[in-house]
Structure 1
Amino acid sequence: MSDPHQPSPGQPYGAPPQYPTSAGGPPHPLTPPYPTSPVYAGLTEPGNPLGRIALLIAAITAGIGSLSGLIYPFLITRGGYGVVSVLSSVVALVVLIAGAVALVLGIIALRRPEPRLAAAIAVGIAGATVVAHLGGWAVNLAYTLL
């Protein structure tokens, strides 16, 4: 019988080594045992409902604040400056209050031991919204006083 590690005429580098196999033995120690059914961690954890609420409020608030700026030119041509002035003041106040609520809820949700991704995104969006509106009001006040 020929040695399996000696090259044969058809195989220049020799035959691959043959490893023993056992039909009913335990699995090889180098292969990790895998569960028969996958376990999804995301489905078993309840999440952070306060963070989700803060994210929802922050996203809606930022959307309303952004869309209102697109609607004002159309309202100027239809109803005049008086309508736009009142509407922009009301929308800005509502967006500022809702942004502050989302910011506070997001900060509270960040302090909880639950998952924090939605709460962190909510704090970022709401913080940017609040700072933008306060900055806009500060610039308008400066223009009025100058």
Structure 2
Amino acid sequence: MSLLQLLGSVIAVFIVAAIARWLFPVRFRLDDAHLRHELDRVYPDLTAEEILIDQAGDAALLRLSGGMGLVAVRRLGDKAVLRHWAPGTKVTAAPAPTGLVLDTDDFTEPKITLALDAEGVARAESWLALLDAPNGHAHAA
């Protein structure tokens, strides 16, 4: 195979991919009903008490009932990737210009960026504090 044939093949693949992206754009945004459905599908024993969806609809944080921790959700193409963070999971939250970046010590899990306003950031940080509290319940001293 000559270099010219290889270059032509690579260009053809890029053109086909660009046409497919233009004809079939991903219009998927996370919403409350879809998140509850995905949680029931992936973790049938867990129930979401509250849901915090970022402004872009690309990521979400679910607070589970019964002190079972949190579920972090990222949109990946037309799918949703869910990760359960049980109480005791070490999650670091770093401020970002548009919200909050969540990171764990699990190298297989990428950072999650939540585009949130100040109220959403405060809410997410209070939920993350539940992971450090015994039994997932924070109590005032």
Task: Specify which structure has the higher proportion of helix.
Answer: 1
Structure whose alpha-carbon radius of gyration is higher = 1
Task: Specify which structure has the higher proportion of strand.
Answer: 2
Q: After TM superposition, is the score higher than 0.5?
A: no
